[in-house]
């Protein structure tokens, strides 16, 4: 039996690796071992609960005021003993966090194979998104096998000199997780979802909802203030539209959001949502205004237009397909594009009905199928 260790630390990583863990658990040729860094403690634990994931190791690195130096060094040092004890045949990491890079470096130091899920996404600007762009690039250098979600991300890797036999296009596992979550929502009644549904019924009824998420560090300061002012003007322009913003816990987000948007009647600032209530809310919304990466992948599967409040995106496939529109952080541009989608139903339908370029829900199966052949061929060693 081969041993694969999955290492992750944030909510998005947990969401995107959950279906990989499920697929691995079905196998008769490998065992899985799970190590979490808890780079984001509370948000990570919510997802572990939803998908019934119990870590074998928990580095529990999160502390108040931690910076990139803290996260990198704690993950690297914390994994030293774990990797030496477990001696996995391979680690799997997902995405672009500091946990991903530090875990890959730790595995490299121990001579352990590295598989990178969601590899090859690029903006070609190492400062944007920060530090995620450079985390992805460095992880690709370290990885033995890369699982890009699309042909475009595969081509990015090949252009950087990654060997073609080490690159396997799979689609994005976030679609696997989304379809799994929709099954859970259909089959079970969850307190968090029921509570949100009742609140929506009492506060909003059948009115249209614009869902907002914004928290990226490269927007902090004046760009973030401009984004908030755009939302404020939109709320005044469209008093019959309700704007729901689950506000990130970072004080650089909370302070301007509460100061600018806190007293607007049709603007609802709520606490961050667990994964299942958030998926339900996204499905209930009319459109999404975000700077998130994962939402750019999820929303098209729900038929929701996505306006991206960033100057660049490492997910240009959605932009090319027409499911996502980059509006940047310019107040006038944000207002103009949201207004177009709210006012022009033909344009809205054109964007909403585009097909999702990020996969069909079989990415996890493809990853595990490839690894079975890869890890059981002894001539690779």
CATH number of the domain at 336, please.
3.40.50.2000
**Is residue 39 included in any domain, yes or no?**
yes
| Catalytic-residue membership of 297 | no
Residue numbers of the domain that contains 287: 190-352
**Is residue 148 included in any domain, yes or no?**
yes
Looking at residue 354, its pLDDT comes to 76
In angstroms, rounded to a whole number, what is the distance separating the alpha carbons of residues 121 and 155?
10
Name the helix (H) or strand (E) containing 33.
strand 30-36
**Is residue 179 included in any domain, yes or no?**
no
Q: Are residues 284 and 376 in the same domain?
A: no
3-state class (DSSP) for residue 311: coil
Decide: 303 and 353 in contact? Cβ < 8 Å.
Answer: yes
Catalytic residue among 13, 45, 89, 118: 118
Q: Are residues 126 and 233 in the same domain?
A: no
Decide: 140 and 116 in contact? Cβ < 8 Å.
Answer: yes
Q: Are residues 224 and 318 in the same domain?
A: yes
Q: How many CA atoms lie within 13 A of 370 on its CB side?
A: 22
Decide: 133 and 293 in contact? Cβ < 8 Å.
Answer: no
- How many residues can be counted in the chain? 381
Q: Are residues 147 and 126 in the same domain?
A: yes
How many structural domains is the chain composed of?
Answer: 2
In angstroms, rounded to a whole number, what is the distance separating the alpha carbons of residues 166 and 334?
40
Looking at residue 187, its pLDDT comes to 79
Catalytic residue among 41, 190, 208, 248: 248
**Is residue 184 included in any domain, yes or no?**
no
Q: Are residues 199 and 135 in the same domain?
A: no
Looking at residue 297, its pLDDT comes to 92
Q: Are residues 162 and 207 in the same domain?
A: no
Residue located via tokens 């762009």: 133
What pairing do the DSSP bridges indicate for beta strands 242-246 and 209-213?
Answer: parallel
Six-digit token pair at 309?
């409040």
Decide: 13 and 46 in contact? Cβ < 8 Å.
Answer: no
**Is residue 176 included in any domain, yes or no?**
no
Q: Residues of 117-126 as b/e, b for ≥16 C-beta within 10 angstroms?
A: bbbbbbbeee
Catalytic residue among 23, 132, 218, 314: 132
**Is residue 294 included in any domain, yes or no?**
yes
**Is residue 185 included in any domain, yes or no?**
no
- Give residues with Cβ within 8 angstroms of 201, minimum separation 6: none
**Is residue 258 included in any domain, yes or no?**
yes
Decide: 171 and 359 in contact? Cβ < 8 Å.
Answer: yes
| Catalytic-residue membership of 64 | no
Residues of the chain with pLDDT under 70: 378-381
Q: Residues of 58-70 as b/e, b for ≥16 C-beta within 10 angstroms?
A: bbebbeeeeeeee
| Catalytic-residue membership of 118 | yes
| Catalytic-residue membership of 217 | yes
Q: Are residues 150 and 234 in the same domain?
A: no
Q: Are residues 159 and 16 in the same domain?
A: yes
| Catalytic-residue membership of 23 | no
In angstroms, rounded to a whole number, what is the distance separating the alpha carbons of residues 77 and 256?
36
| Catalytic-residue membership of 164 | no
Q: Are residues 114 and 228 in the same domain?
A: no
Looking at residue 191, its pLDDT comes to 85
Looking at residue 211, its pLDDT comes to 98
Q: Are residues 9 and 106 in the same domain?
A: yes
Q: Are residues 46 and 161 in the same domain?
A: yes
Q: Are residues 247 and 372 in the same domain?
A: no
């Amino acid at each position: 039996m081969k041993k694969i260790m999955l290492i992750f630390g944030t909510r998005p990583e947990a969401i995107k690796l959950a279906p990989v863990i499920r697929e691995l658990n079905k196998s008769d040729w490998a065992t899985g071992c799970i190590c979490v860094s808890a780079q984001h403690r509370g948000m990570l634990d919510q997802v572990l609960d939803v998908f019934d994931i119990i870590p074998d190791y928990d580095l529990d690195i999160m502390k108040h005021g931690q910076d990139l130096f803290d996260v990198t060094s704690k993950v690297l040092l914390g994994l030293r003993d774990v990797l030496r004890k477990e001696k996995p045949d391979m680690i799997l990491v997902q995405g672009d966090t500091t946990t991903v890079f530090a875990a890959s470096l730790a595995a490299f130091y121990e001579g352990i194979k590295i598989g990178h899920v969601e590899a090859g996404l690029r903006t070609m600007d190492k400062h944007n998104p920060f530090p995620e762009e450079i985390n992805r690039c460095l992880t690709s250098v370290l990885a033995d096998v890369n699982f890009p979600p699309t042909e475009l991300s595969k081509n990015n890797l090949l252009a950087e000199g990654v060997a073609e036999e080490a690159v396997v296009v799979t689609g994005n596992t976030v679609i696997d997780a989304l379809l799994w979550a929709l099954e859970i929502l259909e089959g079970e009644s969850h307190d968090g979802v029921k509570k949100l549904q009742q609140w929506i019924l009492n506060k909003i009824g059948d009115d249209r909802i614009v869902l907002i998420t914004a928290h990226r560090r490269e927007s902090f300061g004046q760009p973030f203030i401009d984004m908030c002012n755009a939302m404020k003007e939109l709320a005044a322009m469209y008093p019959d539209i309700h704007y729901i913003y689950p506000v990130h816990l970072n004080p650089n987000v909370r302070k301007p959001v509460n100061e600018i948007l806190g007293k607007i009647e049709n603007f609802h600032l709520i606490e961050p949502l667990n994964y299942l209530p958030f998926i339900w809310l996204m499905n209930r919304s009319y459109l999404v205004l975000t700077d998130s990466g994962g939402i750019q992948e999820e929303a098209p599967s729900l038929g929701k237009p996505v306006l991206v409040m960033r100057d660049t995106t490492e997910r240009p496939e959605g932009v090319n397909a027409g499911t996502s529109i980059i509006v940047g952080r310019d107040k006038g541009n944000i207002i103009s594009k949201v207004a177009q989608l709210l006012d022009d139903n033909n344009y809205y339908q054109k964007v909403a009905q585009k097909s999702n370029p990020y996969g069909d829900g079989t990415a996890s199966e493809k990853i595990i199928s490839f690894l079975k052949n890869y890890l059981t061929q002894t001539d690779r060693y």
